[in-house]
Amino acid sequence: MRNVSGHGKRLSYYDFGHTTVYASRFDQRFPYCAYVPEDYDEDGGKTYPLAVIVHGTERGMLAYRDAFADFAEQNGVIVLAPLFPANICFPGDLSSYKMLRQGDLHYDAVLLDMVEEMRERYRIRGDRVLMYGFSGGGHFTHRFLFLHPERLLAASIGAPGVVTLLDFDHDFWVGVRDFEKVFGKKIDLDAMRKVAVQMVIGGDDLQTWEITIKPEDDWWMPGADLAGATRNDRIRSLKGSLERHSVEVHLDVVPGIAHSDRELIAKVKEFFARTLNAARLKNCSQQTGDNKWEQD
């Protein structure tokens, strides 16, 4: 909400600060909220990078938005937090969003239109966003990196339980051999190499009860255990698969932490801040006398 009383000229009181919750215009089953820094002025010219924070299976949309509010204020960033509710595709559906697609439902398209809504409502800088997701959100984020690298300035992948390796010898979801058949779009390695990539995980994130895929499970396919047993095994396998294709990855392992990102988010904020500073410095080296910068 706005830090002064009353509505703005075009935006309402509830479109500032910790915003209200909106229904996606693309598909009203999917809501989202945002955080807009206090210095946002409808009549101003300042532009704001957009950070997209994708929840995990617990679906803590508001908590994630709030957790990044200080980062938004300190770095001049607008935060978008989408919600992909459970039970969308069938009773008990907790995970369909993690694979980006379920039948005719394209979760990536839902998110991309939320981004466009934000661009129409606020002065969003550039076409590329920062994205962070933990656990189930880490599923979504690394697969979104594979599918839409041209839309990402940075991707922070937090402790995904099941990973898709950048492996052209195995079909999706284990690998990406049939990626174009599944998604209608080829893997663009050159575009992926332009994205700043972080992986972050707790050093004690070792439990397997939620992530072991058995032959009777819906997600079972040959190679289901290819990346290892634990989240630590799997994030390292994912990292290695990207690096084999010259995609640089920065891995942060926080000692003594299990499957929780309360102690990891500080690392994500540091990574995003470094990425934004590097982009600003790059722009300054290319342009003089202009306080705007572009994202490649």
Residue spans of the domains in the chain: they are 13-286
pTM value > 0.85: yes
pLDDT digits (tens, 9 = 90+) for 198-242: 999 999 999 999 999 999 999 999 999 999 999 999 999 999 999
3-state SS string for the chain: CCCCCCCCCCCCHHHCEECCCEECCCCCCCEEEEEECCCCCCCCCCCECEEEEECCCCCCHHHHHHHCHHHHHHHCCEEEEECCCCCCCCCCCCCHHHHCEECCEEHHHHHHHHHHHHHHHCCECCCCEEEEEECHHHHHHHHHHHHCHHHEEEEEEECCCCCCCCCCCCCCCCCCCCHHHHHCCCCCHHHHCCCEEEEEEECCCCCCCCCCCCCCCCCCCCCCCCCCCCHHHHHHHHHHHHHCCCCCCEEEEECCCCCCCCCCHHHHHHHHHHHHHHHHHHHHHHCCCCCCCCCC
pLDDT digits (tens, 9 = 90+) for 15-30: 999 999 999 999 999 9
CATH superfamily to which 13-286 belongs = Alpha/Beta hydrolase fold, catalytic domain (3.40.50.1820)
The mean pLDDT value for 126-140 works out to 98
Q: Does residue 287 surpass a pLDDT of 80?
A: no
